[in-house]
Structure 1
Amino acid sequence: MERPFLKIESLGKRYPGPRGQLGEPVFDQVDFGIARGEFVCVIGHSGCGKTTILNILAGIDHPTEGAVIMDGREIAGPSLERGVVFQAHALLPWLTALQNVEFGVRSRWPGHTREQVRAHSVRYLEMVGLGHALHKKPSELSGGMKQRVGIARAFAIQPKMLLLDEPFGALDALTRGTIQDELRRIVQATQQTVFMITHDVDEAILLSDRILLMSTGPCARIAETVRIDLPRERTRASLHHEPRYYEIRNQLVDFLVDRAHRKELLPS
């Protein structure tokens, strides 16, 4: 069997208690793998440790137990091999949209000329529909446009893996849907490997190849895995017409409403 591109092994996270002793695990014995080019979403109730897992994958947090292996090497800190998009856009406010993307591109390829950096950055901003807003600063952009800049910046460094922490959670429904379709189109074109956190069941079904369902914390685990066996070229408009859509959606909702809290159902 082919070794997964990303392998999470017996991952656990505890935080110090009031007397300095480690408290109860937020999550414990988390194991899963992600294949190269696979889009995986994780869903679970607040407090189960989803964002902490993403931060560990990004290298900005460290597990108490276990390890994360990406492309044969253990993750030990931040790296340009992993691009991150958070719910808050995290743009540098004094730079234009183009300059924000160029900042990451120069870090990734310090030997590129100014013209190469600009051309590369413009290409990715155009991919997210912002060719007309290259020279606008974040204060001049809408919330959806800021998130597009963040997505362009993450894709532009051509990371081995893209990490998305509810990147559309603060957007209105129309803008969110438009960027979802754009993200899916770009991921299909680049064959990017993606790990994404979301609370939106429909978003997970639309975007992912596989959904990991986490039980409630403390001691949260990956309780169930759902493979999304729908056509990969699906869109928001076509999703509701897929025969398996409602069956998958009901399975996810049933888990969140009922089974996520039932510790006796978790694998030992």
Structure 2
Amino acid sequence: MSTELVQVQGLAKRYGDATVFDNVNFTLTEGEFVCIIGHSGCGKTTILNVLAGLEQASDGHVFMAQREVNAPGLERGVVFQGHALMPWLTVRQNIAFAVRSKWPDWKRAEVDAQVEKYVALVGLTPALDKKPSQLSGGMKQRVGIARAFAIEPRMLLLDGPFGALDALTRGTIQDELLKICAATRQTVFMITHDVDEAILLADRILLMANGPQARVAEIVVNTMSRDRQRATLHHDPQYYRIRNHLVDFLVERSATLSHGRAPEHPPEVRPGLPEPAEVIPLDTHPAIHRSTA
């Protein structure tokens, strides 16, 4: 039985009279991989920053392990769009800096062992003593991921870290991330603009309506096998059903589902999908769970 780790309750963010998002509610359970998708300006990064304790919400609360989040903490690891490595330090030293922050009493041999373990997991052992200027963009992102995992956080927050990478490098890192998460049962909250990335990685996908006054309009439950592989993803009949739903939301419906924006026509009910306004219990409808909260 999975334990509920994070509760997001009534989250809102305003800048002056402008409301970016309002009444955002969702939970994360231990070991769950959740992606959030939405158009630019809907507040995805702000939500992630609130979860990280890097930004304060205007309203609402975030609780992690029943404690309110209001500041950064080492139980949360963050990987940004940019690698954020210290250029004057080697790969080993960049990761060791984070490890010592978590365990200041560790001896050098313990720190080195922790660093080497997670560098090996992302396939960068030959680059241990290189500086960031000697690494490719994909390698730098791997170092950032290794650094976040090395502090063994209870939750990993990923702010679209693969968006600037070429398709081959992105796919390689995604595969490595899946392997590490499977091995560690890591809880992950990730921003992505890539529908296929979300389907490959996520257990649930949060769909944000457009801003202003954006909200989590729908939650899609990924019912494909957890051991799914990139090469065979498209052979699963559920893949196209889920993918088409996500694309349809982003292209057609996200603009009509913000607070105060009524659709011109009632949403179309497509075969195999539940009624748009219903909350479908997962045990009665296995593929799509809508939330109108």
CA drift of 1:2 comes to: 7.8
**In the alignment, does 2:70 pair up with 1:62?**
no
Count of aligned residue pairs for this structure pair: 262
CA drift of 1:89 comes to: 0.2
Q: 1:174 to 1:3 in 2, by over 3 A?
A: closer
Gaps of 5+ in 2: 264-276, 278-291
In structure 1, the residue matched to 2:115 is 121
String of CA shifts for 1:71-99, please: whole Å, max 9, x gaps: 00000100001000011000000000111
Q: Which runs of 4+ in 1 moved over 4 A?
A: none
TM norm structure 2: 0.87
Q: How does 1:126-145 map to 2 (within 5 A)?
A: 126-145=120-139
CA drift of 1:24 comes to: 2.2
In structure 2, the residue matched to 1:5 is 5
In structure 1, the residue matched to 2:141 is 147
String of CA shifts for 1:180-214, please: whole Å, max 9, x gaps: 01101100110000000000000000000000000
| Secondary structure at 1:14 match in 2 | strand
TM norm structure 1: 0.95
Instruction: Say whether the 8 Å CA contact 2:33–2:201 is kept in structure 1.
Output: yes
In structure 2, the residue matched to 1:19 is none
CA distance in 2, matches of 1:2, 1:99: 36
Q: How does 1:88-103 map to 2 (within 5 A)?
A: 88-103=82-97
String of CA shifts for 1:215-267, please: whole Å, max 9, x gaps: 00000000000000011111211211112101100000000001101133683
CA distance in 2, matches of 1:134, 1:7: 37
| Secondary structure at 1:34 match in 2 | strand
Q: 1:3 to 1:10 in 2, by over 3 A?
A: farther
Of 26, 35, 47, the match for 2:29? 35
| Secondary structure at 2:4 match in 1 | coil
CA distance in 1, matches of 2:125, 2:3: 39
String of CA shifts for 1:17-38, please: whole Å, max 9, x gaps: xxxxx21210000000111110
Of 71, 74, 84, the match for 1:77? 71
**In the alignment, does 2:243 pair up with 1:249?**
yes
Q: 1:256 to 1:192 in 2, by over 3 A?
A: same
CA distance in 1, matches of 2:177, 2:170: 10
| Secondary structure at 1:225 match in 2 | strand
The residue type paired with residue 10 of structure 2 is S
In structure 2, the residue matched to 1:178 is 172
String of CA shifts for 1:39-66, please: whole Å, max 9, x gaps: 0000000000000000000001000000
CA distance in 1, matches of 2:162, 2:18: 31
Task: Tell me whether 69-78 or 237-246 shows the greater mean CA deviation.
Answer: 237-246
The residue type paired with residue 141 of structure 1 is L
CA RMSD of aligned residues (A): 1.3
The structure, 1 or 2, with the larger RCO (C-alpha pairs under 8 Å, 6+ apart) is 1
| Secondary structure at 1:26 match in 2 | strand
CA distance in 2, matches of 1:24, 1:134: 46
Q: 1:2 to 1:229 in 2, by over 3 A?
A: closer
Gaps of 5+ in 1: 16-21
**In the alignment, does 2:206 pair up with 1:212?**
yes
User: How many percent of aligned residue pairs carry the same amino acid?
Assistant: 63
| Secondary structure at 1:12 match in 2 | strand
CA distance in 2, matches of 1:157, 1:147: 16
